[in-house]
Amino acid sequence: MKTLRTAIVGGGKMGSIHAKVYDKLDNCQLTAVVDSDIEKAKKIASVYGCKATTDPTELIGSVDAVTISAPTIYHHDLACLFIENGIPVMIEKPLSATVEQGRRIVDLAKKHNVVVAVGHSERCNPVSQAMKRLDIDAKFIEANRISPYPFRSTDIGVVLDVMIHEIDIMLSLANSPIKSVHAVGVNVIADNEDICNARITFESGCVANITASRLAMKTERKVRVFSRQAYLSVDYFKKQGIVIQTAPNVNVVEWIKEHQMQDDFDFSEVNWPDLLNIEQLEVDDREPLRVEQESFIKAITDPNERPEVTGAEGLAAIECAHMILDSVKQHQWQ
């Protein structure tokens, strides 16, 4: 297999993490790191023995794939530069700062037949991968992603910084066009919203309720999914979850009906969890960013493969996020 020459654009924390992942992949060679701050670029480049530069145009003609981990406001211009020159890009979430920019990226990629992947790493979380294997038809989704203030991504609010993960997962589970969005949010510390709750209804009838906060006292990343086939409760932070599937629990319903007919039966002595067939979600321990990068590389080398999260899916997440932000503006507190 051909060794792909790769580069990182954005020498911050995420750039350093992506560089480390690329270094682990057998069919990739990290050749350059780009950042407007040359010292940041040099710091990462020195670890992997590659080039450091402040000029992204120097990558044209010398790399086969680029990961963009620069601030969101630069995603559009950087992505277009590489796509127009036939270079596949992995763009850290969110895809772009605006819906219009996201559409231009996706349209340009289609025009030039260039692979675009979006770094929604939670889709590559072992818990998400396990849920994906269940192939359930979600009817209600509840997601909570809260954490202490991260002291980063101050150029965007909690919706594009944090909630975007849940939006992407929710869209993949619901698999239906959005019918309506109702949201409330408030900024406490930053200029943009720090806390937000959104309720999203889909044309299929599925409903999603999402809460995101970067002002919490603890970190919590949990999702609950109701469907006809199963109930799921998963913890992204702990990488674990439970599944209560319908079929194995039909006998529980019959048992309850039978004993309800007995006037003297005391249900207070029954421990509900003991009745249920509860399964632990089968979760492997693969590194999400590695899964993400491997799917990106496979999509480049094999036309039959696709990235874990495509540019079109990244655009859908941006569109939903801005619907939420528009709703927040309409429900401003006085």
Q: What is the pLDDT of residues 300-318, one digit of tens each?
A: 999 999 999 999 999 999 9
Please report the pLDDT score of residue 166 as a whole number: 92
Q: Note whether 100 and 147 are same-domain residues.
A: no
What torsion do the CA atoms of 323, 329, 330, 334 make, to the nearest 10 degrees?
Answer: 160
Q: Once rounded to an integer, what is the mean pLDDT over residues 181-195?
A: 89
Q: Note whether 63 and 134 are same-domain residues.
A: no
Q: Note whether 268 and 145 are same-domain residues.
A: yes
Q: With 90 as the cut, is the pLDDT of residue 41 above it?
A: yes
| C-alpha of 310 from chain center | 11
Residue 140's pLDDT band, with cuts at 50, 70 and 90, is very high
Cis, peptide link before residue 273, omega less than 30° from 0: no
More confident residue, 128 or 297: 297
Residue 333's pLDDT band, with cuts at 50, 70 and 90, is low
CATH of the domain at 304: 3.40.50.720
Paired tokens of 289: 């960013």
Q: Hey, what amino acid is at 132?
A: K
Q: With 90 as the cut, is the pLDDT of residue 229 above it?
A: no
Please report the pLDDT score of residue 128 as a whole number: 82
Q: Select from 14, 5, 321 the least CA-distant residue to 171.
A: 321
Q: With 90 as the cut, is the pLDDT of residue 245 above it?
A: no
Parallel, antiparallel or unpaired: strands 195-202 and 178-186: antiparallel
**Among the ranges given (37-51, 224-238, 276-290), the one the predictor scored with the smallest mean pLDDT:** 276-290
Q: Note whether 194 and 58 are same-domain residues.
A: no
Flag whether 314 is in a domain.
Answer: no
Return d(Cα 102, Cα 96) in angstroms, integer. Answer: 5
Flag whether 153 is in a domain.
Answer: yes
Quote the number of domains for the chain. 2
Return d(Cα 246, Cα 236) in angstroms, integer. Answer: 23
What are 168-177's pLDDT values in tens digits? Answer: 999 999 999 9
Residue 153's pLDDT band, with cuts at 50, 70 and 90, is low
In the predicted model, what is the mean pLDDT of the chain?
Answer: 91
Q: Once rounded to an integer, what is the mean pLDDT over residues 13-31?
A: 93
Q: Once rounded to an integer, what is the mean pLDDT over residues 16-35?
A: 94
Flag whether 283 is in a domain.
Answer: no
Whether 32 and 52 have beta carbons less than 8 Å apart is answered as yes
Return d(Cα 54, Cα 37) in angstroms, integer. Answer: 7
Q: Note whether 24 and 147 are same-domain residues.
A: no
Which range of 151-160, 259-268, 295-304 scores highest in mean pLDDT? It is 295-304
Beta carbons within 10 angstroms of residue 219's beta carbon: 10
Return d(Cα 90, Cα 310) in angstroms, integer. Answer: 9
| C-alpha of 107 from chain center | 21
Q: Once rounded to an integer, what is the mean pLDDT over residues 33-43?
A: 96
Q: Note whether 152 and 245 are same-domain residues.
A: yes
Residue 154's pLDDT band, with cuts at 50, 70 and 90, is low
What are 100-115's pLDDT values in tens digits? Answer: 999 999 999 999 999 9
Length of the chain measured in residues: 334
Give the domain extent around 264: 123-278+319-330
Which range of 64-78, 243-257, 264-278 scores highest in mean pLDDT? It is 64-78
Q: With 60 as the cut, is the pLDDT of residue 334 above it?
A: no
The CA-to-CA distance between both ends of the chain, in Å, stands at 61
Flag whether 303 is in a domain.
Answer: yes
Q: Note whether 112 and 135 are same-domain residues.
A: no
- For 259, half-sphere exposure in the C-beta direction (CA atoms, 13 angstrom radius) is 12
Q: Note whether 267 and 239 are same-domain residues.
A: yes
Whether 310 and 276 have beta carbons less than 8 Å apart is answered as no
Residue 184's pLDDT band, with cuts at 50, 70 and 90, is very high
User: Which residue carries 């995101």 as its tokens?
Assistant: 212
Name the β-bridge partners of 52. Answer: 33
Return d(Cα 236, Cα 254) in angstroms, integer. Answer: 34
Under 8 Å CB-to-CB from 136, ≥6 apart: which residues?
173, 225, 227, 229, 230, 232
Under 8 Å CB-to-CB from 304, ≥6 apart: which residues?
none
Provide the whole-model pTM.
Answer: 0.88
Residue 127's pLDDT band, with cuts at 50, 70 and 90, is confident
Q: Note whether 60 and 161 are same-domain residues.
A: no
Whether 292 and 151 have beta carbons less than 8 Å apart is answered as no
**Percent of the chain predicted with pLDDT > 90:** 64
Q: With 90 as the cut, is the pLDDT of residue 178 above it?
A: yes
Return d(Cα 159, Cα 165) in angstroms, integer. Answer: 9
Instruction: Measure Cα distances from 186 to 155, 196, 215 in Å.
Output: 16, 7, 11
Residue 277's pLDDT band, with cuts at 50, 70 and 90, is confident
Please report the pLDDT score of residue 271 as a whole number: 84
